Amino acid sequence: MDMNKNLVLKNEEGKLITTSKIVAGIFGKRHDNVLKDIREMECSKEFRLLNFKETFEMRKLPLGGAVKSPYFEMTKDGFGFLAMGYRGAKAARFKEDFIRAFNRMEDMLNSDEYIQYRFVQIVEKKIKQLEAELLDNQKLIGCQQERIAGLSPKAEYTENVLNSPDTYTSTQMAKELGLRHAKQLHLELKARGILFKQSDQWMLCSGYTGKGYTGTRTFMYPDKKTEIPRTSTFTVWTEKGRQFLHGIFQ
């Protein structure tokens, strides 16, 4: 009989344990009596918490359905404390069997071969996790690339429009914004601290300069008295300025 396999197990935390069901089966006791023995043990609370863990399993009923059935996991020390109350030559032999099983399992877990085996298991598990993360990241990147590809034409259009050399007069912008005339637009922007007038030309206040909102146009006109050609400049709005004005007057 393989004692390691039949008497001692390794739980989810990697600890060596046996169970109240195994003890009941080997010692020929009813499981409910073993549960009673464990619950009535006169040990400290600390020892009980450290060496006994009550858990549950679903047990199928003969007529259908299932019921939650309790059992205990116990460490080597927990088993030793419980088994102290089991007397007789047969019980003594079973105690020895359990102790040998614990010792054999401990030796196996401490062997170089098992340590190497566990190392390979851990590495393989980590590789699988990394592969899964890589796959998720590749899917995410693919979705982002599709989204970027969909936005690229819009971004390119916006960039081209905002960098366009085309400009608009204040009269054009006033009509586009639903205002009566350029004067109304200028006065509205002056009231907001965006424009000021100097030498008969409307210009941006210092907080709005350098942003590419405006440009200038130059035109020639004849002097009324001498008819000598003269030049004058006035402020016009770029595409960026047009976007800026729409944002203000929304």
With CA atoms as reference, report the closest residue to 26 among 98, 114, 107, 84: 98
The answer to the question of residue 133 being in a domain is yes
Question: What pLDDT sits at residue 98?
Answer: 83
Q: Indicate whether 176 belongs to any domain.
A: yes
Q: Is residue 115 part of a domain?
A: no
Q: What is the span of the domain harbouring residue 26? A: 3-110
Integer Cα distance of 146 and 133 in angstroms: 20
Domain shared by 99 and 38, yes or no: yes
Same domain, 7 and 102: yes
| Tens-binned pLDDT, residue by residue, of the chain (250 aa) | 344 457 888 888 878 888 999 999 888 899 999 999 999 988 899 999 999 999 998 888 888 888 899 999 988 888 888 888 888 777 777 777 788 888 887 777 776 665 665 566 677 777 888 788 877 887 778 777 777 666 556 555 455 544 556 788 888 888 888 888 888 888 988 898 988 888 778 888 988 888 888 887 775 656 667 767 766 677 888 888 888 888 888 7
What is the predicted pLDDT for the residue at 143? Answer: 78
pLDDT for residue 20:
93
194 with 233, same domain: the answer is: yes
Residue 116 forms part of a structural domain: no
Sign of CA dihedral 77, 82, 85, 91: negative
Do residue 99 and residue 11 come from a single domain? Answer: yes
Q: Same domain, yes or no, for 73 and 139?
A: no
* Cβ within 8 Å of residue 224, ≥6 positions away: none
The pTM (predicted TM-score) of the whole model is 0.40
Element at 161 (helix H, strand E): helix 112-162
Q: Are residues 93 and 133 in the same domain?
A: no
Residue in 168, 188, 176, 145 with CA at minimum distance from that of residue 235:
168
State residue 154's pLDDT score.
56
The tokens for 174 are 């006033």
Judge if 241 and 204 occupy the same domain: yes
* Cβ pair 10, 16 in contact under 8 A: yes
Domain count, the chain: 3
